[in-house]
């Protein structure tokens, strides 16, 4: 009986680690893009690809505001095809309505894959308050 109890006690850490490996953690990440630099946009696409490979079950939102809105504008974006591909894989791209108004952008030219938030900064803050991790895109 003592041997069986000892065996069970020794097996518990192993069983616990197996269970942890079976249920990967679900990361919740909000990224802020404020750069209109196309090199930053290309770099962001590489980051998104790498992140999806490493954590395919993550939740990820990319909030674009200020010059970062260029990423989501059909007449300016050099990565529109990639935005569509990543959107199909579950990444959420969000356009800031305040930026659209302030920069007098044509809302009809926002990529159809994009959603909208009233204020990009406030959305980011709310996500952080809800426990999401924050990453600023760019260099």
Per-residue pLDDT tens, the chain, 139 aa: give them. 555 433 434 444 444 444 444 445 689 999 999 999 999 999 999 999 999 999 999 999 999 999 999 999 999 999 999 999 999 999 999 999 999 999 999 999 999 999 999 999 999 999 999 999 999 998 7
CATH pick for 24-136 out of 3.40.1260.10, 2.60.120.260, 3.50.50.60, 3.40.140.10: 3.40.1260.10
pLDDT of residue 139: 78
- Assigned token pair, 29: 């990440």
Is residue 94 a contact partner of residue 63, using CB atoms and an 8 Å limit?
yes
pLDDT of residue 3: 55
pTM over 0.85: no
DSSP the chain: -HHHHHHHHHHHHHHHHHHHHHS----EEEEEE----HHHHHHHHHHHHHHHHH-TT-EEEEEE-GGGGGGGBTTT-S-HHHHHHHHHTT-EEEEEHHHHHHTT--GGGB-TTEEEES-HHHHHHHHHHTT-EEEE---
Q: What is the pLDDT of residue 138?
A: 86
């Amino acid at each position: 009986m003592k041997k069986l109890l000892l065996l069970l006690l020794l097996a518990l850490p192993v069983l616990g680690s197996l269970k942890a490996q079976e249920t990967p953690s679900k990361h919740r990440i909000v990224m802020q893009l404020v750069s209109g630099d196309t090199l930053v946009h290309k770099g962001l696409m590489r980051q998104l690809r790498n992140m999806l490979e490493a954590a395919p079950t993550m939740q990820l939102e990319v909030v674009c505001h200020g010059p970062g809105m260029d990423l989501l504008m059909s007449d300016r974006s050099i990565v529109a095809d990639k935005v569509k591909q990543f959107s199909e894989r579950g990444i959420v791209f969000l356009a800031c309505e305040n930026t659209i108004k302030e920069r007098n952008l044509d809302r009809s030219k926002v990529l159809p894959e994009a959603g909208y938030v009233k204020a990009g900064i406030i959305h980011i803050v709310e996500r952080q308050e809800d426990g999401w991790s924050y990453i600023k895109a760019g260099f």
